[in-house]
Structure 1
Amino acid sequence: MTELELRLEAFVKLGDLFRKFCKISKNNEHLKENINEWFREFDETIVLAGHKNGWFIRENILFCLEKWGALLTRDNLVNWLSDYTILQNKPKTVALIMAGNIPLVGFHDFLVTMLTGNSALIKLSSNDNVLLPFVIKYIIFTAPALKNKITVTEGKMVNFDVVVATGSDNTTRYFEYYFGNKPNIIRRNRNSLAVLTGNETVEDLNALGDDIFRYYGLGCRSVSKLYVPKDYNFNIFFESIYTFNPIINQVKYANNYDYNKAVYLMSEYKLLDNGFLMLKEDESYSSPIATVFYEVYDSLKDLELKLEAEKEKIQCVVSKGVIDGEISFGQTQNPSLSDYADGVDTVEFLIKA
């Protein structure tokens, strides 16, 4: 077995673990005394992740694992990598600086690094420093030869060749100063938005609710802004997303809702509010938790030109037969293996770096 095949097999086995664990979790079999030790440890890891980060509820972690489990099959991985000349890669050490806004948000960078034949030097976010170490432990268990190819560090990052870093607009200034002399991908803040025409069905708008509320809107693929035509009927929108109202029972979400509502009311902003989501007219793309900004457009053609001019700020555009490159309602949190963050092909980058 070649090293590439060894690495591929390790991630295929990881996908199998994810799928089986999600299945037993749905049936509550993870609570049985005689459960597989890896499943038991995985369950304990998920509980710990939730304790360390209150946004990481079990439902969202399992959603993440289920999506990755569906992607990590031999056929999917082979088909994805067949578009690249992996064997041309010269092995290097890749410094991975990961965000922690949603569960396993940096996993794709780790996957790419390993499957292109490189070593990973990882700095985790304090908000998500439990799940990936378990994943790494399992990969090394299935492929012990990879033990020296993966390092997680809490200190200063040294002895690396390439950098892939994800952070805020503020931290990227530091990244650019510190890592600017190395080949790098440095990602800034991006947001996702939806363009509505008023012709959407209840089913479309309900699916949009998943794009808004999944991971509490903390992901860069979460919709934080709506573009609507003049005289848009927001009642239909609110009625369509009402099934998501239990989200207000999550304490951290409710606290943010109450705080942001108080700030808006003291500032005498005009709000549209249904008791668990506020809509505020605002030109910004990035909205606070429990809030979605909206803006009225006059012409779809002019709006498309505007979005093209500001594409560096945008991760996803959700619409239905309106915008080139659009994503269907309800699909922002279902990226494929080739949906690269910020549209930068990390496989190609690492091969050529």
Structure 2
Amino acid sequence: MDPGLGFAVPVVMAAFGVLFLAARKLGAARESLFWGLGFLLSAAAFGFPATDVLIPTQIIAFMADAFFALAFFSYACAVVFRFGGPRLFRARIALLGVGIVAPAYGIFVAESLPAETLASDLTCALQLGFALVTARCWPARRIDRGLLVVLWVVVIQNVLLAASVQLTVGDARPEAFFTTDYSELMFGGALLTSLVFAILALSGTVSDLVDGYRRDALVDPLTGLLNRRGLAAIAGRATAGQAGGVICCDLDRFKQVNDTWGHEAGDRLLVAFADLAQDVVGSSGVVSRTGGEEFVVHLADMPARHVRATAESLRAAMRRFDWSPTGIAGHQTASFGATMRAEAEPLEDALRRADRLVYEAKRNGRDRIEDDLPSQRLSLAVVNR
């Protein structure tokens, strides 16, 4: 076998392993840890034969096969975390055990290189194939579909290697492993598939990481609603021919809630109101938390009567809501400001008008809706309890 190939495979795999672990350190999903461990274990397995001048051949073969088994166990775990499906941890541990014991039998008992390589290839293929078969569903993203295809190629590659043992290994002794055609096929195939496999898996991991950072930048972590930046990204600039409504909501006496029942109760109040607002608005608009106890409902391409009705529904739903599960006694109210967003008007302009209307509602007694909607002006007040 070409010495350069024997050197390149472990180095490439180790490099990818480090990249996956670095991605995990930056916040990538859990499967990146298992991808990284799998590539590092594979790198060690491919690198063990280079130590034949220091360690007995049988020990080298056993360690390499054990590391391959552990690598494919890690790959299988990554598949489960990436694509879903049952954990079946005991079954996977059992397959790992077989993947270590079966090649060891070929090394120490049968003392046969064909038996060892056959057992190692088939048990590794079995571990990864079992994870792929139990995957929950065919993924929607092209990267993930490509990754699944390449993983199946790895399984098939191992099966074909096992099928070729009689031709590519023959009666060779373990110490003659690098003189066999099998070693050329094994290292060459591993270099090719590992490159494609790692690039696709790493691309999916990095894509998820970037999406996560983008989501964190646009979503309020407490309520799960869009934040102000997220609202601007979704609503943006109204297009020509499209008007809509903006409703600003500010919870009344929120500081008093925090002072009386504690900040945890205040957080539960915010979460409960976010859920309530989403239930009321439904698919007709977007609810966001723009700061503290301030929320904004954006209703794209909606007439004034719908904007007014939504504000009324929110105010009424809040007064009817049972707040006791949040640890807060009594009714909670909010003040609302509703305005229409003109065609092609920047969102910030409409938000400033709605915000001024909220403060007008606060000055006029709270638990009110103030608006500058084009039809009859709405100014509803209730007796505070």
TM-score normalised by structure 2 residue count: 0.20
**Larger strand proportion of the pair:** 1
CA radius of gyration, larger in: 2
**Larger helix proportion of the pair:** 2
**Quick one: higher RCO (CA 8 Å, sep 6+), 1 or 2?**
1
